[in-house]
Structure 1
Amino acid sequence: MPGSPFGRAVLAALVEKGAPYRLAPVAPGALKSPEHLARHPFGRVPVLEHDGFLLYETQAILRYLDRVLPQPALTPSDPKRAARMDQVMNVNDWYLFHNVANVIVFHRVIGPRVMGLVPDEAAIAAAMPKALTVFNELAHLLGEKPYFAGDSLSLADLMLAPAVEFFAMIPEWSSLGAPHANLMAWLTRMQERPSMTATTWERVSELAKAA
């Protein structure tokens, strides 16, 4: 589904691995269809099918891909760096997405662009305190490193970048991301990677139409 940051993380990982794939797009209105629920009983995306093996949940998919497509490695061999990667991935799922991205990004980007909705300014304002906490912590976790788990790209960066890029598109970025020079530099670094340029909303929409 174009616009899904979780789906984009998986596509970006496949590009980083240089792995061929076939995109099977699911329209928002089909997420609860019997056909899709047979693949994902909770009606979400993404879902991976590989050699007859079905797998949902983005973190599980990313780790699976890193095991079956080992080069280049996207999980640090150092235990502490691998733990930091895991931590950041969970910050993305439990704190950035829940009640932050799924409120602010929904009302600023997804709702207006996909559903023609008017942003709910009260809902956005209510989510901003938690958003500030999340972005302050992300800047702290990144520190002076080029990537969240150290000197090399990891699954954490691929999972986080699609969501953070949405925030960079909206007015709230001036309060959330712009005050953190390290996050700004990291996002630029990520946006310059071929895996990100190949998986933009526009590019995935083109792939979906051709599927």
Structure 2
Amino acid sequence: MSGYTVHTIPGSPFGRAVLIALEEKGAPYRLAAVAPGTLRSPEHTARHPFARVPVLEHDGFRLYETQAILRYLDRVLPVPPLTPADARRAARMDQLMAINDWYLFQGVANVIGFQRVVGPRLLGLTPDETAIAAAMPKAHTVFAELSALLDRQPFFAGEAFTLADVLLAPQLDFLSATPEWAVLTADTPHLCAWLERVRARPSLEATTWERVAARAAAA
């Protein structure tokens, strides 16, 4: 299969998850960078009516929503598999992907990550300490649950790297750049060990913010 194009903002954790999946599959792809201030442009809303990223285009087929894209890629590029064959492990993977979207990102990463990283780095904004403090109770709850679900396993759904790790890795790597990371992981050393383990994968190394930005600039 060929002809993969990923429309995303360099640095987007959701966009990075799609790139990680393509790297894991060894599939060639084209990165189509989207400028942060153009999400509501007619050009982009024609691709994504809700003005978000990423969007995947594949041989005339267009798809948005990160979970849908990841599952599509795992179906059309079945080797190596990123979904467990075991029904319970697959269900745990699905649960963790939902935790990422509804609890880790919403109210945690989209607040702390924006205030500490995106706002200062891209927009020149000063972090809103009140907003960060308000997000911390939910963050502690999310991190405690992620730690409990990971337990002492190598990866979130068991022995194998799955779509749960693909989706969670960019969000947690993003948050690790904030001072809140040390507080949130003080009692979860195995969560930190998991992050170091997945960071060492070629797919993570190839999709850092810096490398994706450089690839976008060279396109």
Q: TM-score, normalised by structure 1?
A: 0.99
Partners of 1:98 and 1:135 in 2: how far apart? 13
Partners of 1:194 and 1:175 in 2: how far apart? 28
Unaligned stretches of 5+ residues in structure 2: 1-8
How many residue pairs end up in the alignment?
Answer: 211
Indicate the SS of the match to 2:56.
strand
Unaligned stretches of 5+ residues in structure 1: none
Partners of 1:171 and 1:178 in 2: how far apart? 12
Runs of 4+ in 1 over 2 A off after TM superposition: none
Kindly provide the CA deviation profile for residues 158-210 of structure 1, in whole angstroms up to 9, marking residues without a partner as x. Answer: 10011101121111111112320110110000100000000000000011111
- After TM superposition, the structure 1 = structure 2 runs for residues 18-97 of structure 1, keeping only pairs within 5 Å, are 18-97=26-105
Paired residue for 2:3? none
Partners of 2:82 and 2:190 in 1: how far apart? 21
Instruction: Say whether residues 1:111 and 2:116 are aligned partners.
Output: no
Indicate the SS of the match to 2:177.
coil
The partner residue of 2:108 within 100, 103, 111 is 100
Partners of 2:28 and 2:183 in 1: how far apart? 39
Does the CA contact (< 8 Å) of 1:47 and 1:56 recur in 2? yes
Indicate the SS of the match to 2:30.
coil
Partners of 2:12 and 2:111 in 1: how far apart? 14
Q: Mean alpha-carbon deviation: is it higher for 82-91 or for 166-175?
A: 166-175
State percent identity of aligned pairs: 69
Paired residue for 2:166? 158
Partners of 1:178 and 1:65 in 2: how far apart? 35
Partners of 1:102 and 1:57 in 2: how far apart? 16
Q: TM-score, normalised by structure 2?
A: 0.95
Paired residue for 2:149? 141
Partners of 2:100 and 2:153 in 1: how far apart? 18
1:21 CA drift (Å): 0.2
- After TM superposition, the structure 1 = structure 2 runs for residues 171-210 of structure 1, keeping only pairs within 5 Å, are 171-210=179-218
Indicate the SS of the match to 1:80.
helix
Partners of 1:196 and 1:55 in 2: how far apart? 23
Kindly provide the CA deviation profile for residues 36-76 of structure 1, in whole angstroms up to 9, marking residues without a partner as x. Answer: 10000001000000010000000000000000000000000
- After superposition, the CA RMSD in angstroms is 0.6
Does the CA contact (< 8 Å) of 1:178 and 1:184 recur in 2? no
2:109 counterpart letter in structure 1: A
Q: Which has the higher contact order (CA 8 A, sep 6+)?
A: 1
1:165 counterpart letter in structure 2: D
1:138 counterpart letter in structure 2: L
1:203 counterpart letter in structure 2: R
Partners of 1:183 and 1:108 in 2: how far apart? 21
Partners of 1:43 and 1:152 in 2: how far apart? 34
2:23 counterpart letter in structure 1: V
- Higher strand content, 1 or 2: 2
1:93 counterpart letter in structure 2: D
